[in-house]
Amino acid sequence: MAEDESIEKPPVVPVGDPTDRAVFWQSLICLLVIMFAAGIVTTISKSGVSLVGTLVSSQPSSWKVLTTLAGILVLVFLALKSVRDTRMLSAIMSLAIILGLTFGTDVLLGPAAGTIIFCLAVVIYFSDPWVVLYDLLLSLGLAGICAAIGPVFQPEALLLVLCVVAIYDVTAVHLSGKSILFMRQLPSRRAFFSFVLPLHWRGLQTRVGKAAGNLGSFGLRGVADLLLPTIFAVSVLWHHGLVAAGSVMLGATLFPVLIHVTASWPRPAPILPPLALGSAIGYLAFLLVI
């Protein structure tokens, strides 16, 4: 008899620390995928020529408007990490990710491909995909959101927001531990709130539904940790060019690695503060050099 998915099962709470070194490196890989994909979409969107040879309008398209609105809603709701009922958050986040993925495909390959990807993303989401496919879908969806939102804002404003959220992440979340219970509720809903990162690479072929009930073998990485630095990098790319964006991406990548390798890494690992600091260092380095 099939199990009733409407009845949420409590996850297996890990005995040890779920934030292993593997989770850090996998988070870094996800960040690079998001930044790279968002950079491609943003560059093509700005140039006005897609991969299939058709012109891309520089004016905000309907997909871009919808994705921007959905992304802003996501950012607002992600700040409410202590909310216990995540059903509304789950629906909004899932819609935002699918729209972000559709927007990116629309820019790269045209509206027809965007419509097909939208349908495929919905099917994959409800089919209990492998962890690797789930994380890839989440990464590409976030890339589309970042490519839509980043150009709208000035880099300085986003840098301020990034620093404020990073400070909040340390003081109000990790020091108080309020986000731990909230984050453990998310995988059971198969919601696009966090990456599901296996502590062992063989876990990439585990179904998300199965991983949700066994957090002892999987770590979680909230999407906001990787979303905000990427939005900032996209804004820098749009307003200052590829060299400036490369400097930001380099700082965002190397600084957390330096901290992780040389310093005592607190548990659970707050990756957003070093990402924010590294992004700021990369941006300031570009301004000083240029």
Residue 12 has pLDDT above 70, yes or no: no
Q: Which residue has the tokens 């899932």?
A: 94
Q: Does any domain span residue 6?
A: no
- Domain assignment present for residue 28? The answer is no
What percent of the chain lies above the pLDDT cut of 90?
A: 20
Residue 268 has pLDDT above 60, yes or no: no
At residue 2, the pLDDT reads: 44
Quick check: is 185 in a domain? Answer: yes
In a domain, 1, yes or no: no
- Find the range with the poorest average confidence among 5-14, 205-214, 251-260, 269-278: 5-14
Structure tokens at 70: 């959905």
Give the chain's domain count: 1
Q: What is the pTM of this model?
A: 0.77
Rounded mean pLDDT of the chain? 75
Quote the pLDDT of residue 1. Answer: 42
Q: How many CA atoms lie within 13 A of 167 on its CB side?
A: 5
CA-angle at 273, arms to 270 and 278, nearest 5°: 130
> Would you say residue 60 lies in a domain?
yes
Q: pLDDT at position 4, please?
A: 47
Domain with 134, as residue range(s), is 37-289
- Predicted confidence at residue 176, as pLDDT, reads 55
* CA dist list (Å): 11 to 54, 187, 210: 48, 9, 10
Specify if 120 maps to a domain. Answer: yes
Give tens-digit pLDDT for 173-190.
555 555 444 455 444 455
What tens digit of pLDDT does each residue of 244-257 get? 999 999 999 999 88
Q: Which of 65-79, 92-106, 157-171, 261-275 has the lowest average pLDDT?
A: 65-79
- Does a structural domain hold residue 79? yes
Model confidence at 46, pLDDT cuts 50, 70, 90, reads confident
Q: For the chain, what percent of residues have pLDDT higher than 70?
A: 66
**Is 131 inside a domain boundary?**
yes
Query: With 50 as the cut, is the pLDDT of residue 23 above it?
Result: yes
